[in-house]
Amino acid sequence: MIWRVGRKVKRTIYEQQTWEPQDGDQLIGLMDTAELAAKVVQAVNDGQLNTGFGFEFKAELQDLLGSHGIDTKLNTPDFILADYVVDTLWNLGPMLKARDDWGKIPEPDAG
């Protein structure tokens, strides 16, 4: 999910459906000022890009899925599949932490 500011009013916020802005992008909302819209979009996108699986990774994954025809075989756009894979990888974090914590034995107090 990558957000962008509207191209005309600059106060609207859209969720891009592909890697390039399109007229059919989903409207998220309208901000009071262009500056506020830009700050919100930047904050959301920074959160997305700092997950360890950045925009470039998603773009490469989307291209890879498309080049192998996975999107056609599943009848699902490659950008949706790429988002799904990245979200799945990102959600492994809490599971891996729980796994690591499960095997730890508390150290005795030095006291």
Rounded mean pLDDT of 35-47? Answer: 85
CA 100 to chain centre: 26
Q: Residue 110: its pLDDT value, please? A: 58
- Model confidence pLDDT, tens digit, residues 48-96: 544 556 667 888 899 999 999 999 999 999 989 988 888 787 777 677 7
Percent of the chain residues past pLDDT 90, beyond the cut: 36
| pLDDT at residue 109 in the model | 66
Phi and psi at 18, nearest 5°, equal: -135, -175
Q: How far is CA 58 from the centre of its chain?
A: 8
Q: Is the pTM of this model over 0.95?
A: no
d(CA 90, CA 48): 10
Asked if 44 and 14 touch (Cβ cutoff 8 Å), the reply is: no
What is the 3-state composition of the chain as percent helix, strand, coil, each rounded to the nearest 5? 55, 15, 35
Provide the edge-to-edge strand list for the sheet that holds 2-5.
2-5, 12-16, 26-30
- Can you give the pLDDT at residue 2? 82
38/3 Cα distance (integer angstroms): 10
Q: Give the residue-averaged pLDDT of 9-15.
A: 93
pLDDT at 22: 87
